[in-house]
């Protein structure tokens, strides 16, 4: 047993790191309804198309809150730039919502969806 122990610890450590690195796909899925980022994005798109600006503001706040809950779970399994890009999308959504710019909001929501899909690729 003593002969194998020095090899066992590094192998277990590497296995743990591999599991963490490939777990992002599963960790970004919502555990509760308050973490359903893509559900909030789709609702925001519908409200933007129908020009329900009060609802769009609520949807954007829900997206931001849900994203802040998911980031700690996925931070070790996705690239930092991808997390940063989604944060930028949320900031642009807030700015576009202030001006009620329908095309900018829809553009940012579509870019958000693309960045979301690219998180774990």
Residue-wise pLDDT for 14-29, tens only, equals 998 888 888 877 888 8
Q: CA-to-CA distance for 37 and 119, rounded, in angstroms?
A: 13
Structural tokens at position 105: 């909001």
Structural tokens at position 40: 């909030």
Structural tokens at position 51: 């020009």
Nearest partner of 89 among 118, 60, 66, 117, judged by Cα: 60
Query: What's 5-118's CATH class?
Result: mainly alpha
Q: What angle do CA 54, 69, 120 make, to 5 degrees?
A: 105
Q: What's the whole-number mean pLDDT along residues 92-119? A: 94
Task: Kindly report the pTM of this predicted structure.
Answer: 0.84
Q: pLDDT > 90: what percent of the chain?
A: 62
E strand intervals along the chain: none
The confidence band for 63, taking pLDDT boundaries of 50, 70 and 90, is very high
Q: Which residue has the tokens 């198309």?
A: 49
């Amino acid at each position: 047993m003593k002969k194998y122990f020095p090899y066992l610890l590094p192998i277990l450590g590497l296995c743990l790191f591999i599991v963490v690195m490939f777990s992002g796909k599963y960790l970004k899925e919502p555990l509760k309804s308050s973490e359903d980022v893509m559900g909030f994005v789709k609702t925001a798109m519908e409200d933007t198309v129908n020009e329900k600006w009060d609802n769009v503001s609520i949807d954007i706040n829900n997206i931001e809150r849900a994203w802040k809950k998911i980031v700690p779970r996925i931070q070790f399994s996705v690239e930092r730039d991808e997390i940063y890009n989604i944060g930028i999308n949320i900031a642009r959504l807030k700015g576009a919502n202030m001006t009620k710019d329908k095309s900018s909001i829809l553009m940012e929501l579509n870019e958000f969806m693309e960045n979301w899909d690219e998180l774990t690729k």
